[in-house]
Amino acid sequence: MDNAINNKIFGPVMIGGIKFSSNVLMAPLAGYTCFPFRLMVKELGAGSAYTEMVSADALKYNDRATHNLLYTDDREKLKCVQLLGAVPETFEKAAKSGLLEKFDVIDINMGCPVPNVIKSGEGCALMDDIPRASKIIEACKRSGKVVSIKCRVGMNKKRIVIEEFARMCEVSGADMITVHGRTRDMMYDGEPLFDLIKLAKDSVNIPVFANGGIDSKEKAYEMMRQTGADGIMLARYGFENPILFSELTGREITDTKAGLLLKQLDIANECFDELYVLTYVKKLASYFMKKMPGTKQYKLELYKCGSVSELRKLIEEIFRVNG
């Protein structure tokens, strides 16, 4: 598909009065969507990228881990945070707190399927408690910020609630909904249920974004065609292959993979301690090296690096050999 056709599908979008540079977004991913990564995918064409999932309740501790999750500066023009929790009052306090003052958009996690999250009444469990979910949205909206929701289509195929849930989100004041087209019990496997994402889209007047299983341009186009969504949100495949943002939006890439990695190393080194930098960049480098000849050996060498300078030298060497 050429860029002329591509640009008719993927382009700028207005959400809650804010212009997003494209309707291809990066989902929150625990352990991955830190500040340097968010900057990179935006440069590659992402319209927004959310922080890693942040516990609304944990904000009160104001510790180093929280500051790392929420780290941002003026290089990140559109700032989006994702909150997880189950208590409306806690959400309101978090949304109005000084820690979130810089953020333009609050996304509420109503889709996480992990058992410990569900047991706490958080994430996807909120789809089984629509009145509570509504109060949480209203509580966040009282902050005056744009509010988006990330949810699934229901807990299982016998409890599909997406139509009612989407309408509740709109009535409660949400500015956007992202629908992961799987039920909670499907976790991250199986084909997304396109018809149920379309049902959500047809049920409301606010933007609806589609998420789930988008690992290529072809899957992205198919998701848009079958659901009629206003845009898409990439998740783990956005981390495994961030170049996909550029391929979808037509944004020109000026850096090689090595260049992107070294920039990530530099930015992370400015913002975080060495242990954090090494952990994050090693993970990203491992994905960037997939399918390279000798990947297994490179990964062994990668994880032996004990300093930023060692890691830099190894990345330069690996990509000099492999182009």
List the structure tokens of 214. Answer: 């988008």
pLDDT at 254: 87
pLDDT at 114: 96
C-alpha to C-alpha distance for 296 and 280, rounded to whole angstroms: 18
The residues annotated with a catalytic role in the active site are: 112
Q: Beta strands 13-15 and 18-20: pairing type?
A: antiparallel
Q: What is the pLDDT of residues 131-152, one digit of tens each?
A: 999 999 999 999 999 999 999 9
List the structure tokens of 249. Answer: 């939006």
Between the CA of residue 219 and those of 191, 192, 244, what are the distances in Å? 11, 11, 11
Q: What is the pLDDT of residues 58-82, one digit of tens each?
A: 999 989 999 999 999 999 999 999 9
The answer to whether the predicted template modeling score (pTM) of the entire model surpasses 0.85 is yes
Q: What is the pLDDT of residues 192-229, one digit of tens each?
A: 999 999 999 999 999 999 999 999 999 999 999 999 99
**Does residue 245 register a pLDDT over 70?**
yes
**Taking residues 176-201, what's their average pLDDT?**
97
pLDDT at 7: 52
pLDDT at 295: 80
What spatial distance separates the first Cα and last Cα of the chain, rounded to whole Å? 27
Name all domains of the chain by residue range, CATH numbers in brackets. Answer: 3-249 (3.20.20.70), 257-322 (no CATH)
**Taking residues 52-59, what's their average pLDDT?**
96
* Cβ atoms 168, 196 nearer than 8 A: no
Q: Across all residues in the chain, what is the average pLDDT? A: 94
Residue listed under structure tokens 């509010």: 147
Candidates 283, 19, 29, 6; CA nearest to 180 is 29
pLDDT at 121: 97
pLDDT at 4: 40
**Taking residues 247-270, what's their average pLDDT?**
94
pLDDT at 77: 96
**Does residue 323 register a pLDDT over 60?**
no
pLDDT at 289: 85
Q: What is the pLDDT of residues 6-35, one digit of tens each?
A: 556 999 999 999 999 999 999 999 999 999
C-alpha to C-alpha distance for 205 and 146, rounded to whole angstroms: 16
C-alpha to C-alpha distance for 298 and 282, rounded to whole angstroms: 11
